[in-house]
Amino acid sequence: MKKGICTLYIIRHGETEWNRDKIVMGQKDAPLTGSGVCQAQELGALLAPIDFSAAYTSDSPRAFITAKIVSGARLIPLRKSSQLRERHFARFEGMPSAEYREKNRASLLAKDALSEEKRWDFKIAGCVESDASLVKRVLSMLRRIALIHKGEKVLVSTHGGPIRFLLMKLGFAPYGSLPGGSFKNCGYIVVGSDGTEFNIIIEVHGVSTHESTDKKSRG
């Protein structure tokens, strides 16, 4: 990695009870399942050789606990940020995913009919956080981290939505090609940044484009 480039290891939290039960989570929270804890432990073992100088996490407990497990015995503080949270699903948080899709069928179809540019700014039901808003706040935080930690390796614990839309924004995949559930729990990506540009995708682990939103929860 070039001097002055921060290497960001961006991870998704382990499976939660609401992921398992297919419930829209968003910025609400649910405990990690036993499987979710094991996923975090396995990821921690995989990333054990990485010399992280810092760790940042969404302030959602599921992301914080995952970061704590993955960071292991490293003597680095876990810095929380609300900018790394999952998409805000407003009044739909806590609702079964199938019910969310049914209630918002017309709005989802209306979004699909728009141009890509307009879809980025579209709010489902007029209240769910837009794709553009989600990516903007996450990128803003990642830029801050990269500027602070130039030349260093940093662990960032966040959620499926932010990672999926970051990958699409950076050109890893076409817009709309990574639906909910297509980035696995405790999957991770490695991105290089100078604090301005995010055009270096070094590694991607955890993408499964064959998984449908019908089978997964959002969060």
| CA distance readout (Å), 200 to 6, 172, 217 | 11, 10, 29
Q: Which phi and psi angles does 193 have, rounded to 5°?
A: -150, 145
DSSP state letters, 20-65: HTTB--TTS--PBPHHHHHHHHHHHHHTTT---SEEEEESSHHHHH
CA distance linking residue 81 with residue 158, whole number of Å: 10
Residue for token digits 């302030």? 59
Residue for token digits 């794709």? 131
Residue 11's beta-bridge partner residues?
A: 157, 188
Find out whether 89 and 26 touch, Cβ atoms under 8 Å. Answer: yes
13 carries an active-site annotation: yes
Q: Taking Cα atoms as reference points, which of 135, 60, 137 lies closest to residue 93?
A: 60
Residue 5 — left, alpha, or beta (φ > 0 → left; ψ -120 to 50 → alpha)? beta
Q: Taking Cα atoms as reference points, which of 180, 188, 203, 211 lies closest to residue 25?
A: 180
Of these residues, 15, 86, 93, 129, which one is catalytic?
A: 86
205 carries an active-site annotation: no
Catalytic residues: 13, 86
